[in-house]
Structure 1
Amino acid sequence: MKFYLLSDNIDTQMGMRLAGIEGVVVHERREVLEALEKAMHIEDIAVILITTKLVQTCPNVISELKLRQKKPLIVEIPDRHGSTDIGEVMDAYVSEAIGVKL
């Protein structure tokens, strides 16, 4: 089982490549959705890492996939553009999933 990266910048992609994680650099909403769809259909991909900036291009779609799909696991990661408020993002996902504000 492998990791796969969807990144908005080459720096994150190169860093992950050094760790043995392949991926693509995309910028537009359409590109993000196409790359995500393609990655989800690769059999040996267990975890898709996606940068915060890309999640913000299509938050509803990614949130729905996180809640609905069993495999692969979609994990948001901060990058050089991302904020350090990843905890707030996680709280929002949990709140949306259970319907209770944390």
Structure 2
Amino acid sequence: MKAYVICDNLDTLTGLRLVGIEGEIVKPAEFEPAFKRAVADKGIGILYLSPSLIESNQDLVNDVRFNQATPLITSVLGANEYQNATNTIAETIQHAIGIQL
């Protein structure tokens, strides 16, 4: 299985490509088709998304996160997003099963 990134930041995409992860930069209006293509690709096991893209498409992302086994969807923070970083994996678990970690 491979990893794939959909982001809105060139620096994030460049950094991930340097470690061998393919992906694409999208504008908010282009996110849904790119996301659906990535989810339909059974070779993708981990899908990294920009936090801003997740926030603007929360229902679509949550539908896949909570109703499909793959891909694992997580956020990848850009350089300017680390200042406001929270434990997104813990938040995902909390939303999925309703308990506070």
TM-score (norm 1): 0.83
Unaligned runs of 5+ in 1: none
> Superposed, which structure 2 residues align to 1:1-102 within 5 Å?
1-28=1-28, 30-83=29-82, 84-87=84-87, 89-101=88-100
> Which has the larger share of helix?
2
Structure 1 residues 16 and 69, CA, compared in 2 at 3 Å: closer, same or farther? same
Shift of 1:13: 0.7
RMSD over equivalenced CA pairs, Å: 1.8
**Alignment partners' CA distance in 1, 2:16 and 2:41:** 18
**Alignment partners' CA distance in 2, 1:45 and 1:37:** 12
Unaligned runs of 5+ in 2: none
Question: Which deviates more from structure 2 when the two are superposed, residues 17-26 or residues 55-64?
Answer: 55-64
Q: Which amino acid aligns with 1:16?
A: L
Shift of 1:101: 4.9
**Percent identity between the two aligned chains:** 28
Aligned length: 100
